Amino acid sequence: MSLTRRSMIGLVATSPLLAQLGRAAGPDGEAADWPAWARTRWQLYDELAGLARRGTDVREFGARLDGTSDDADALERALAAGAAAILIPAGPGRSMRIGRQIRITRPTVLIGTGGQAAIEYTGREKDMFLACALEEDPTRFLGPIRLDNLRIIRPEPLRPHGKLLLGYNLRGVSVTRCTSERMGLVGMHHMLQRLRRYRRAGGSIAEDPALKSGFSATLDDLCEDLQVHDCRTDARTYMSQMVRFDFTRRVAISHCHGRFANVSWWGGGGRRDEGGDLRHPRRVRDVYVADSEFSHALGGIYGNNGQDILIARNKVAMVVDIGIDFEGCVNAVARDNIVTNAGNFCLATFFAAKNILFENNLCIQDGGATNIHLQLRARKMGAANGRTLLALRSAGFGAVDGAIEVAFRNNRFVWQGSDGVGGCVPSFFGRLEVSGNRFENVTCNLAYRRTGSLIVADNQLTFGKGVLPVRPVISGNAAQLSVQRNRIRLADAPTGQLRAIQLALLPGSKFALVEGNRIEAAADLPIVMVAPSGTPASVILRNNHGGTLLVTEGLTVRADGNQDGSDRPVVPRTIPVEFATADASPADSADQETSPSAADADETALEAEAVPAFLRSHKPASA
């Protein structure tokens, strides 16, 4: 299914990247969603071929390439010569050894010829190339820098974690057709970081710490144009990064394979007083990561304070923390990805998360990542139970109206473990949509205190033979609720007080609609509506099939067209004591979030059959 602007959570996708997602065909054979601001791989490779024809062999500057001699001096002479390109020939018995870090202070093109040129880096500093303007002026930028067809090795027992290229204030960087072993490839940062002038704790909710540190309010001082394509990394240790970029715009990464390596970004702190407040601009912009694979790292693809991001058709497996994670991000899409086994969550958002869409992704947990930190000799992150498919962690943004607006559409969430079920971890949201998804042996538990608008629609939730959830299959609470046209199927008869759907209304709740849900089980699997005494909400229970209806005594309910599993009409009845006390409270956390303004607004009471605007704008996933 192609992604169009209409599907972006009902909001308008105004960014140059997101606006083109429905484009019919891509340039030069690239994917259809290839960003217009990035040259294609073939354009890059044509340019590099032209530079290679005008290049100079590094042996002309004294390099021996015998794998024993230190060629660092020769490489520095080559860099200083100003050649159109420096060529490092590959071949049997040819290997360049570099015994110390090399400084790049001018535009540079380094190309392996005749195959991937082998480089063994044995320097004391962990990064082989350090690139920045000689003056280290935060207003000066260096580029272009092109690295192509290189194979960099960091031999044992030297410490890994380093990168082929570490740069500050760079523009026009490409790393293509390169391989790295026991180290990553690229780190791109801002000179204000190198000079230690950026302090994310130096601001406040009202004052952007980036501005106080010297960044421009017009965002004209970011690093720009980083492209990494057709590269491979096997870093051998979980903390390594294939690509890391901070305070950068226009980043395209594709067709890469990272083992013990990931992709991450950072455009400022995520917390409200560290630059994460939505009044402050995101200082990572226009990011495209596609058709790549990452595994055995801290996370897969993730970052802080980014805007206009597309993560598409990647594979992420066996990560310590989170597969794909948008932290403090705005206008971000993850679609058609496969995430298998994450210690904490397959998909997640942290901090502010506005206009975020997860669509058409496949997420699988089977317990293989339970306590994965022990397998990878890593620091434990979170619970590391290897069971959670999706999560929201709002970390204090409950007080910001509209800060967390997330949609999960047409994804497939699967628990394949030998026991129990998979689940979700909720947190505060202003608006959350979960529609058209398939949950296989996974409960959709979204109940959380003081939330805004929740839509759970057109999902299929199935539980195989011998698999029974012990909590509600679907749960949620919000100021405005819609649970429509979901299908719940249990292969075995439910036991105990298992519920198909349980909604916990809030004191300020205004509306709840439970309509057209179908429950298929060998015994009664009720729909439960829990509410505090005196809740003014209008509740509609309509055309549900397969379960009894249980509601808090005294709650005003409009019910019609509901049937049990034998097609007999059912009407709401008071919740038995055992149901009223079991799992009636939504999830809580240590976030200390406050109620959203939407839940506290003084609105006119709704008529029994009225439908709020946020529901009128929602269409079934099949539309």
CB atoms within 10 A of CB 137: 12
Query: pLDDT digit string (tens) for 518-531?
Result: 999 998 999 999 88
Pick among 3.30.70, 2.160.20, 2.60.40, 3.40.390: CATH of 39-282: 2.160.20
Are residues 539 and 557 in contact, defined by beta-carbon separation less than 8 angstroms?
yes
In this structure, of 144-158, 281-295, 369-383, 599-613, the range with the lowest mean pLDDT score is 599-613
pLDDT at 234 over 80: yes
What is the amino acid identity at position 472?
P
pLDDT at 336 over 50: yes
In this structure, of 30-39, 220-229, 282-291, 465-474, the range with the lowest mean pLDDT score is 465-474
Are residues 232 and 270 in contact, defined by beta-carbon separation less than 8 angstroms?
no
Closest CA to 311 of 379, 358, 373, 260: 358
Are residues 443 and 498 in contact, defined by beta-carbon separation less than 8 angstroms?
no
Output the pLDDT for position 580: 54
Instruction: Give mean pLDDT, residues 350-374.
Output: 96
446 versus 606: the higher-pLDDT residue is 446
Question: pLDDT category, 589, cuts 50, 70, 90?
Answer: very low
Output the pLDDT for position 390: 97
Instruction: Give mean pLDDT, residues 35-62.
Output: 97
Break the chain into its structural domains and give their ranges: 39-282
pLDDT at 584 over 60: no
Alpha-carbon gap, residue 592 to 584, rounded angstroms:
20
Instruction: Give mean pLDDT, residues 133-158.
Output: 96
pLDDT at 593 over 60: no
591 versus 428: the higher-pLDDT residue is 428
Alpha-carbon gap, residue 11 to 355, rounded angstroms:
7
Output the pLDDT for position 133: 95
Instruction: Record the pTM.
Output: 0.90
Output the pLDDT for position 22: 43
pLDDT at 587 over 60: no
Question: pLDDT category, 592, cuts 50, 70, 90?
Answer: very low
Instruction: Give mean pLDDT, residues 314-318.
Output: 98
173 versus 599: the higher-pLDDT residue is 173
Question: pLDDT category, 200, cuts 50, 70, 90?
Answer: confident
What is the DSSP-derived secondary structure letter of residue 396? T
Alpha-carbon gap, residue 253 to 223, rounded angstroms:
16
Instruction: Give mean pLDDT, residues 246-265.
Output: 98
Are residues 174 and 44 in contact, defined by beta-carbon separation less than 8 angstroms?
yes
pLDDT at 578 over 90: no
In this structure, of 125-129, 346-350, 571-575, the range with the lowest mean pLDDT score is 571-575
Q: To the nearest whole percent, how much of the chain has pLDDT over 90?
A: 75
What's the CA dihedral at 76, 81, 84, 85 to 10 degrees? -20
Whole-number average pLDDT of the chain:
88
The residues near 601 (Cβ < 8 Å, ≥ 6 apart) are none
Strands 248-254 and 284-290: parallel
Output the pLDDT for position 616: 36
Output the pLDDT for position 161: 86
Report helix, strand or coil for 228: strand
pLDDT at 594 over 60: no
Q: To the nearest whole percent, how much of the chain has pLDDT over 70?
A: 89
